[in-house]
Amino acid sequence: MGGVRRAVARRPDLWMEAARSAFAFAPNAWWRRFPFLPLPEARYLAWRRFTAYGSADRALSGEDVVAFLEWRRRLRTSR
């Protein structure tokens, strides 16, 4: 996960999109559960890794997350 954080940290132009994504993927009423952060559930992340990589055990790649955030921003701004 550190590679993902570093990859996004190097791209200040994607910070807001990363925040939007965090809230979009957060479970309902996330503020009621510790650690009180808008983090997606582990099962959801495992499913996303499985659909992206064919294995729920593979770590997310910083390069893939940056590409996803760029795609999400393009999609949001093209409407």
Which residue bears the tokens 């999400």? 72
pLDDT digits (tens, 9 = 90+) for 35-65: 899 989 999 999 999 999 999 999 989 999 9
79 vs 57 pLDDT, higher one: 57
Q: Which two tokens stand for residue 70?
A: 């760029």
Domain boundaries along the sequence of the chain: 2-77
Other C-beta atoms closer than 10 Å to the C-beta of 12 total: 8
Binned at pLDDT 50, 70 and 90, residue 29 comes out as: very high
Q: Is pLDDT above 80 for 1?
A: no
Binned at pLDDT 50, 70 and 90, residue 24 comes out as: very high
Predicted TM-score (pTM) of the model is: 0.83
